[in-house]
Amino acid sequence: MAIIALADYANSNCDAVALPDYTDLGVTSVKNVKLPFDQIHIDDIEGNIGKVETHTPAEIEQLRMSFADGVDNQECPPAVYFRGDEYEKPYVLVYGYGRSEAIRALGQKDWIFTLFAGTPEQMEDVQARENEGYPKHLNKEVDMRKHLSRKVSTGRIKNSEKAIHDEFIRIYGKTRDKTCRNRVVKMVMEETGTPQPYILYTSIPKVQDWIENHSSTEYTLGGDYNEATDTYGACIGEGYQYRVIMQAITRYVETGKYTDLIGHVGSPTAKATIDIKRKKFLKMLEQHKSDLQACGLDVFPLRVLGFLPQVRGKENLKELVKIA
């Protein structure tokens, strides 16, 4: 790290300033160049498309004070691309809107920029990723959703879960974890109406909708009693097997009645299809049953009726799926 004065940085050797690498997004960092601000088109209202919320006055002031104390030449500078000499301002700012505003507020007339080569669409991808590595203003999930949704709506990526997921990984994968990725992908799919090849049951009311709208058999849920079968009913997703077993045991002790269980699973992955997830669900249930029997449990008052239909076009929506 080398902190130098603002004016000295602007007049320093451009080759000594850090150069970013966005080759994985198809963008080439040609070189660092010194440019006057009046040669650069800067539009934070419509040009900074990767942001729903841009910098606040407090953030700009914080940046201004930071630059007044000096500049780190190992930090990548703002970036531009060349759009043509026919324009009064032939360069367009790609990122560094907040920094450029703060630097100009300090009276600086020119600055060092990274010159990019690539398509306008590729520049948007760089905009979307750049703030991930810049601690002064990190992307919000709403920004990621906006960028990916725009790519779907303009036809630049396919409107499928896999395409959206892969594009998230390509742009943000180095800095964001699985939890964030799943949230953003789901938001984009909801916003763009992405067709889903499978059905996810996110709540008991949604399962109840399936019973009322599709099922040929009436089931009870949530531990309610079913007079037709003289049993209680329950429906759970992955990870709740032990809890439903203990609830069934409690009901049996209190009433002598069994509990009928309906299962469902989450989204399939590259390593686990819906069918594999269902089998793992049952395997975990059997493991808990075996453990309890080893501790002296004589009666296992839980019966698995089957799984909710989840694969569109392949599974009958009128009946539960049985796993052999």
**pLDDT for 50:** 55
**For residue 141, how far is the Cα from the chain centroid?**
7
In whole angstroms, give the CA distance from residue 258 to residue 267. 30
Residue 225: what are its φ and ψ, rounded to 5°? Answer: -85, 140
> What is the reported pLDDT for 152?
92
Give the DSSP letter of residue 39. G
pLDDT of residue 131: 62
% of residues, the chain, pLDDT over 70: 93
Q: Which token pair is 99?
A: 């920094």
- C-alpha pair distances (Å), 285 with each of 168, 239, 292: 35, 10, 11
Report the half-sphere exposure of 283 (CA within 13 A, side-chain side): 6
* pLDDT recorded at residue 111: 94
Determine the Cα–Cα distance for residues 10 and 277; give it in Å rounded to an integer: 58
Q: How many residues does the chain have?
A: 324
Hey, is 168 helix, strand or coil?
helix
User: Tell me: the pLDDT tens digits for 277-304?
Assistant: 999 999 999 999 999 999 999 999 999 9
Listed by start position, the domains of the chain span 3-139, 204-307
Q: Judge contact between 265 and 277, C-beta under 8 A.
A: yes
pLDDT less than 50: residues of the chain: 52-53, 133-138
pLDDT of res. 137: 46
pLDDT digits (tens, 9 = 90+) for 194-230: 888 888 888 898 999 999 999 999 999 999 999 999 9
pTM equals 0.52
For domain 3-139, the CATH class is alpha beta
